[in-house]
Amino acid sequence: MRTRAITITAPLLLALTACGSDTEPRATPKANKPAAQKTTAEPKPSPDKPRTFGQELTFSDDGMTMGVTVSGYEQDTFHPQASADEEFGTKGYTWAAVEIKACLKKGTSGVTRYPWALAYADGARIEPSGVTYGDFPKPEYPYEAKMKAGDCVRGKTVFAVPAKQRPERVLYVPEALETPAEWAVPKA
């Protein structure tokens, strides 16, 4: 019985000793992040200019390296079983789709459609639709997919957008990036 008490007490004592005193300076969680886990991204083409469609962003985080790009935008070119207005109880909205491609170059990771958004001149941002229909444009970008090095995922993500406006930019805002990656949406 005594051996058990020592076994339980020793880890507890070790944990308390590791905590240190309240007078010692404390490091922020980012300062403790090993250099190998540091997020890096290739620089933008220009600090004031978004990427063009087809231009890849490559970034690294926690031992993985990913390349992503936007290759197309279409608005009001497909008409699924329910209109955007019918689906969301709005007036003046239509469906739009962004074609995305992600390739994992190193490590393991996952992708999802939710870090993507559309940005408008008036400051509005629209997130991907949470609904899907069998007659949405194919292939659909996955809601979630796990990937290993060498895997690529390509598909379209659908948005309910104002019918009389066109977004200025497609944004990619995963937690691994400090600032959003941007692709300019060409004029219609």
What average pLDDT does range 26-43 have in this prediction? Answer: 40
pLDDT exceeding 70 applies to what percent of the chain? 74
DSSP 35-79: GGG--EEPPPSBTTBPBPTTPPEEEEETTEEEEEEEEEEEESS--
Q: Which pLDDT value is given to residue 183? A: 98
Question: For 128-166, what is each residue's pLDDT tens digit?
Answer: 998 888 889 999 999 999 999 999 999 999 999 999 999
Q: Which pLDDT value is given to residue 136? A: 92
What average pLDDT does range 167-180 have in this prediction? Answer: 94
Whether pLDDT at 70 is above 80 = yes
Whether pLDDT at 2 is above 70 = no
Q: State the pLDDT confidence band at 24, using cuts at 50, 70 and 90.
A: very low
- Rounded Cα distance between 52 and 184, Å, is 6
Alpha helices in the chain (DSSP H): 2-19, 84-88
* CB proximity list for 9: less than 8 A, separation 6 or greater: none
pTM of the model: 0.74
Q: State the pLDDT confidence band at 72, using cuts at 50, 70 and 90.
A: very high
CA atoms within 13 A of residue 31's CA, in its CB half-sphere: 4
